[in-house]
């Protein structure tokens, strides 16, 4: 079954630590995206990648980093520079804009 | 500046009645629009879409209407069911422009359908 998998579902991080969120897709989609959802804020774009070995900053990239070494994988690192990292993080992939995005089930990150 | 606006954070309707969710956009380059449905602690799922060459698209209980002159679209759910209770996101994309076809999302409207 084709899909997009995010892991872990829940993640706890101590202040000052970096943490990496995993996103894997087997849909053969070229484009992948990371969004952050906060209450009342909707979905805000962190980073996106249209092709392997290339990625672009979204609206709220500060304090985050990504890599795209493989078509299937687009991990997101939340660094200690991110001031308010507690949020629900969503990964998505897309083949073309007509079909929209396929989303993963999300990772809830909590800083303790 | 928000390019896609959902001005109603929440909407409550009775089971069996019509739910109407509204969305406004400001970018005249947008030519493809989608609605997503999201349950708590889950990823959004695609619901229905419409191209700017159309003004209406139907899929079962769901119909999306597009008014290009007003830069407005709406999602109608008839009849509404308790299982429709979720957050609904409107999204838009432009074939050309700096966003490279990326989807721009509104902030969402939380629909509650009461039995």
Which is higher by pLDDT, B103 or B84? Answer: B84
**A40–B107 C-beta distance less than 8 A:** yes
The confidence band for B100, taking pLDDT boundaries of 50, 70 and 90, is low
Q: What tens digit of pLDDT does each residue of A5-21 get?
A: 999 999 999 988 999 99
Q: What tens digit of pLDDT does each residue of A80-89 get?
A: 888 899 999 9
Test mutation, B45, B89, B102, chain A, max A CBs within 10 A: B102
B34 chain-A contacts, CB cut-off 8 A: 100
Q: What tens digit of pLDDT does each residue of B58-81 get?
A: 999 999 999 999 999 999 999 999
E runs forming strands in chain B: 4-5, 10-14, 19-25, 30-38, 45-51, 56-59, 62-67, 72-77, 86-94, 104-105, 109-114
């Amino acid at each position: 079954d084709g899909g997009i998998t995010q892991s872990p579902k829940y993640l706890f991080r101590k202040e000052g630590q970096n943490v990496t969120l995993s996103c894997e897709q087997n849909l053969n989609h070229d484009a992948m995206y990371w969004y952050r959802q906060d209450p009342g804020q909707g979905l805000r774009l962190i980073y996106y990648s249209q092709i392997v070995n290339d990625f672009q900053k979204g609206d709220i990239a500060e304090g985050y980093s990504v890599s795209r070494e493989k078509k299937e994988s687009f991990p997101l690192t939340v660094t200690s520079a991110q001031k308010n990292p507690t949020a629900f993080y969503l990964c998505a992939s897309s083949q073309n804009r007509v079909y929209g995005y396929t989303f993963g089930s999300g990772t809830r990150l909590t800083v303790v | 500046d928000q390019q896609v606006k959902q001005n109603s954070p929440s909407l409550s309707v009775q089971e069996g009645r019509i739910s109407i969710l509204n969305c406004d956009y400001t970018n005249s380059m947008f030519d493809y629009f989608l609605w997503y449905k999201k349950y708590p602690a889950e990823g959004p799922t695609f619901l229905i879409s419409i191209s700017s060459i159309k003004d209406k698209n139907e899929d079962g209980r769901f119909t999306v209407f597009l008014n290009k002159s007003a830069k407005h679209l709406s999602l109608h759910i008839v009849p509404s069911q308790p299982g429709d209770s979720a957050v609904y996101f409107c999204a838009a994309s432009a074939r050309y422009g700096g966003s490279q076809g990326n989807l721009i999302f509104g902030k969402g409207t939380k629909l509650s359908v009461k039995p």
